[in-house]
């Protein structure tokens, strides 16, 4: 990041974007061959100067004041002076710009989640081309962060939410968890403690706050599975668009549902244990017992039984034991301690 001498005209012309920005030149941009602006000064054309005796007051970073539209006339107040209190992101956009429409809901969400650590000011370059021209912006969407009255850093294109989050943390420092993330953590804790109603209420609150939050939906599915409300859980998963069915949280919830439905049909574990006691090679009994043990959260024992089948007869039932272990790992998640344990055990048998 640079100081007052930072040249956005040169920086933006060569910076790659996660998605291509609109190629149409921003209105008012410097013509080809003319040097771009070497930086941003304290004045933008007709922008008003601060009144005598002090800087213009900036609005408090609360509520709707976190995101606003600005004009060339108000740029000094809304961006330059406001950035002396808190970093301000300026989003240069236009109505004809497709990537701008993709970026808008994402950047607004991240800015709101930052809870006042940054503000977002949007500027339509068709209506107000002068500032974009002075900054040397030639394609949009383009976002520039201002701090202490100076441009600090920027990016182009409809970049992913995670990249915007990292960008904000670079210019404003670490940002704590969002309200939705806090609720998700509380919901997971309630589910782990067996408080199914509390977990359901919290996951539902996340969905109300962020209807597209797949972690909230998946958490509610897992809560329904724990309550043995399988039909409701399957109906809820069916509402996820096809393009998002492979989301890790959704996939894990679906795997848990399928495992629970399988286990519900398996009958008495005591009978299966008796069959194994009389015949250690009764792989069908061992396999079904592993499913029941997993349903009762005895996951280590479930893993051990499936690994034992692989050890005794790997190709039994078309490698059903190995495939079932992989389904367990999908349901538990790649970082779960039992997933890591199971992978180690399976590898020790497969590659012995």
Give CB contacts under 8 A, 24+ apart, made by 337-344.
Answer: 338/299, 338/300, 338/303, 341/300, 341/303, 342/303, 342/307
With contact defined as beta carbons under 8 Å apart, do 223 and 194 qualify? no
Q: Is 35 among the catalytic positions?
A: no
**Cα–Cα distance measured from residue 102 to residue 272, given in angstroms and rounded to the nearest whole number:** 55
Nearest to 38 by CA among 46, 30, 50: 30
Q: Is 97 among the catalytic positions?
A: yes
Helical H segments across 126-280, by residue range = 130-134, 161-172, 179-192, 196-209, 214-226, 230-237, 248-264, 269-278
- Who contacts 68 (Cβ-Cβ below 8 Å, separation ≥6)? 78, 119, 120, 121, 122
Residue 261 DSSP label: H
**Cα–Cα distance measured from residue 222 to residue 338, given in angstroms and rounded to the nearest whole number:** 18
Check 100, 132, 143, 200 and give the catalytic one.
100
Largest interatomic CA distance in the chain: 95
**Cα–Cα distance measured from residue 89 to residue 103, given in angstroms and rounded to the nearest whole number:** 13
Residue 140, phi then psi, degrees to nearest 5: -135, 160
Structure tokens that stand for 272 in this block: 């299966």
With contact defined as beta carbons under 8 Å apart, do 91 and 103 qualify? yes
- Strands 119-124, 142-147: pairing is unpaired
Check 97, 118, 120, 255 and give the catalytic one.
97
Tokens 């396999």 correspond to: 287
Task: List active site positions.
Answer: 97, 100
């Amino acid at each position: 990041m640079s100081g007052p001498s930072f040249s956005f005209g040169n920086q933006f012309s060569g910076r790659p974007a996660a998605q291509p920005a609109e190629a149409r030149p921003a209105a008012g941009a410097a013509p080809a061959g003319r040097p771009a602006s070497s930086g941003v000064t304290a004045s933008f054309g007709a922008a008003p100067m601060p009144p005598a005796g002090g800087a213009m007051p900036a609005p408090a970073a609360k509520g709707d004041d976190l995101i606003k539209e600005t004009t060339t006339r108000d740029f000094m107040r809304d961006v330059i002076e406001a950035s002396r209190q808190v970093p301000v992101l300026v989003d240069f956009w236009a109505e004809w710009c497709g990537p701008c429409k993709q970026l808008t809901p994402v950047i607004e969400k991240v800015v709101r989640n930052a809870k006042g650590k940054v503000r977002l000011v949007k500027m339509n370059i068709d209506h107000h081309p002068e500032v974009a021209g002075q900054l040397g912006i030639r394609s949009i969407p383009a976002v520039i962060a201002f701090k202490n009255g100076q441009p600090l850093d920027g990016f182009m294109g409809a970049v992913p939410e995670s990249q915007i989050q990292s960008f904000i943390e670079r210019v404003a420092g670490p940002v704590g968890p969002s309200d939705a993330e806090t609720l998700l953590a509380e919901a997971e804790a309630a589910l782990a403690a067996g408080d199914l109603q509390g977990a359901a209420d919290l996951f539902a609150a996340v969905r109300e706050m962020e209807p597209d939050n797949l972690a909230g939906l998946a958490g509610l599915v897992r809560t329904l599975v724990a309550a043995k409300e399988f039909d409701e859980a399957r109906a809820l998963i069916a509402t996820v668009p096809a393009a998002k069915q492979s989301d890790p949280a959704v996939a894990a919830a679906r795997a848990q549902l399928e495992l629970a439905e399988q286990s519900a049909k398996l009958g008495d574990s005591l009978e299966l244990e008796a069959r194994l006691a009389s015949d250690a090679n009764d792989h069908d009994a061992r396999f079904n017992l592993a499913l029941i043990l997993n349903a009762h959260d005895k996951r280590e024992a479930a893993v051990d039984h499936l690994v034992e089948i692989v050890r005794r007869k790997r190709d039994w039932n078309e490698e059903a034991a190995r495939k079932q272990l992989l389904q367990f790992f999908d349901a538990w998640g790649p970082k779960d301690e039992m997933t890591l344990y199971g992978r180690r055990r399976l590898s020790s048998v497969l590659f012995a």
